């Protein structure tokens, strides 16, 4: 009889140990899953912020090229008859035309995310496809603007000229390039800017819907916390 009680106690203790091990592994697995979800959300926040900044970059480009186009138009219309335009207006056109300081767009957050294991943790494959498509369009539009417009503009700026009319004369010595910049800006307005803006907006809407990054990282993961609490409550009742 005593042996029977000893064995029953042994099995009870063994069962407790096994349940404890299972609970430990279960909690560890859930915690790992929780941390993975957290890292994916944090990375998606960075990607979303990057897309927002890229949207602003394209907006700035659009505003700059519109002013460039107006400056090109006025300079071409004057056709070296600079006295026909007030000097203060000419100075405005020259400052705008001489502006070739432009920052490159960044895609570093997406590159890090794309090359990491975290991207495999996103269950919504459409989101991955759309993000990939979005950055392809954004990068292509960026390269088109930088290589076809800014490189050309940089190449005709007479940096050695400091005097207003000398600068304008030097610009008009490359009249075909000025015409090219004006026509190129219209082409960019019609194609690159609308395409980039539309694809970014659509991708942002998908992130809002499926990215789950609106989650405050300082708050508790309710699903995870409720599961752990229920398991702990069930153990305390035994």
Q: Residue 44, exposed/middle/buried by CB under 10 A (0-12, 13-18, 19+)?
A: buried
Measured CA to CA, the distance from residue 180 to residue 155 in angstroms comes to: 12
| Mean pLDDT, the chain, whole residue set | 77
Helix (H) or strand (E) holding 47, with range, is helix 2-78
What pLDDT score was predicted for residue 188?
80
- Every domain of the chain and the residues it spans: 44-219
Instruction: For residue 163, give the 3-state DSSP assignment.
Output: coil
* Residue that the structure tokens 């697995």 belong to: 29
Q: Who has greater pLDDT, 176 or 225?
A: 176
What pLDDT score was predicted for residue 58?
92
Q: Each residue of 157-176: pLDDT tens digit?
A: 887 766 888 888 888 888 88
What pLDDT score was predicted for residue 36?
72
Please enumerate in sequence order all residues whose Cβ is within 8 A of that of 208, keeping only pairs 6 or more positions apart, or say none: 214
What pLDDT score was predicted for residue 135?
93
What pLDDT score was predicted for residue 18?
58
* Residue 49 contacts residue 204 (beta carbons within 8 Å): no
């Amino acid at each position: 009889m005593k042996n029977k009680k000893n064995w029953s106690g042994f099995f009870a203790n063994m069962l407790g140990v096994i349940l404890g091990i299972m609970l430990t592994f279960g909690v560890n697995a859930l915690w790992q899953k929780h941390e993975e979800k957290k890292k994916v959300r944090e990375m998606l926040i960075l990607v979303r912020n990057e897309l927002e900044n890229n949207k602003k970059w394209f907006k700035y480009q659009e505003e700059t090229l519109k002013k460039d186009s107006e400056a090109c138009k006025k300079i071409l219309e004057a056709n070296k008859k600079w006295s026909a335009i007030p000097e203060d207006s000419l100075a405005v056109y020259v400052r705008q035309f001489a502006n070739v300081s432009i920052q490159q767009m960044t895609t570093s957050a997406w590159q890090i995310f794309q090359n990491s294991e975290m991207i495999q943790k996103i269950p919504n494959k459409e989101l991955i496809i759309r993000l990939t498509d979005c950055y392809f369009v954004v990068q292509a539009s960026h390269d088109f603007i930088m290589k076809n417009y800014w490189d050309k503009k940089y190449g005709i700026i007479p940096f050695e000229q400091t005097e207003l009319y000398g600068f304008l004369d030097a610009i008009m010595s490359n009249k075909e390039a000025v015409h090219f910049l004006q026509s190129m800006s219209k082409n960019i307005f019609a194609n690159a800017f609308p395409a980039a803006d539309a694809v970014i907006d659509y991708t942002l809407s998908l992130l809002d819907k499926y990215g789950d990054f609106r989650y405050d990282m300082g708050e508790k993961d309710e699903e995870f916390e409720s599961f752990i609490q229920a398991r702990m409550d069930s153990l305390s009742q035994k």
